[in-house]
Amino acid sequence: MLNAKYLFGIFLVIAAATTGWLILGGTLVLRTEVSDSAQRETLGALWGSALEQEAPCFDTTDAAGTTIQVSRVDPSATRVDVALALDLRRKGLLWYNTYGVAFSGTYRVVNPRRGGVLRMLFKLPSETGTYDDVAVTVDGRRIATASSNGTFVVPIPAAAGRAASVTVSYRSRGLGTWKYSLGHGVVTARDFVLTMRTDFKAIDFPRGTLAPAAEREIPGGWQLTWAYRNLVTGAGIGMTFPKPLQPGPLAQRITFWAPLSLTFYVFVMLVITALRRIELHPVNYLFLAASFFAFHLLFAYTVDRIRIEYAFVLCAAVSMALTISYLRLVVGLRFAAVEAALAQFFYLILFSYALFDEGYSGLSITIGAIVTLFVTMQLTGRIRWSERFASPQPATPASAG
What pLDDT, in 10s, does the model give residues 290-312? 999 999 999 999 998 899 999 99
The structural domain count of the chain equals 2
Gyration radius of the chain's alpha carbons: 33
| Same domain, yes or no: 72 and 143 | yes
Residue 252 lies in a domain: no
Q: Is residue 251 part of a domain?
A: no
Confidence of residue 69 (pLDDT cuts 50, 70, 90): very low
Instruction: Indicate whether 53 and 82 sit together in one domain.
Output: yes
Q: Check: pTM over 0.85? Answer yes or no.
A: no
For 224, residues 6+ apart whose C-beta sits below 8 A from its C-beta are: 195, 196, 197, 198, 203, 212, 214, 215, 216
Of 213, 240, 267, the domain-final residue: 240
DSSP symbol at 275: H
Per-residue pLDDT, averaged over 202-217, amounts to 93
Q: Which domain holds residue 352?
A: 4-33+257-385
pLDDT at 63: 57
* Alpha-carbon dihedral angle through residues 363, 369, 370, 372, given to the nearest 10 degrees: 140
Q: What is the pLDDT of residues 233-245, one digit of tens each?
A: 999 999 999 888 8
Kindly state whether residues 296 and 218 are assigned to the same domain: no
In a shared domain, residues 341 and 367: yes
b/e per residue, 158-186, with b = 16+ CB within 10 A? beeeeebbbbbebbbbbbbbbbbbbbeee
Q: Which residue(s) pair with 54 in the sheet?
A: 181
pLDDT band, very low/low/confident/very high, at 145 (cuts 50, 70, 90): confident
274 and 210 in a common domain: no
- pLDDT band at 219, cuts 50/70/90? very high
Helices 4-47 and 258-276, packing angle to 10 deg: 150
CA distance linking residue 311 with residue 318, whole number of Å: 11
The average pLDDT across 320-348 equals 95
Of residues 264, 256, 258, the one with CA closest to residue 293: 258
Residues 11 and 144 in one domain: no
Q: What is the DSSP letter of 204?
A: B
Q: 28 and 58 share a domain?
A: no
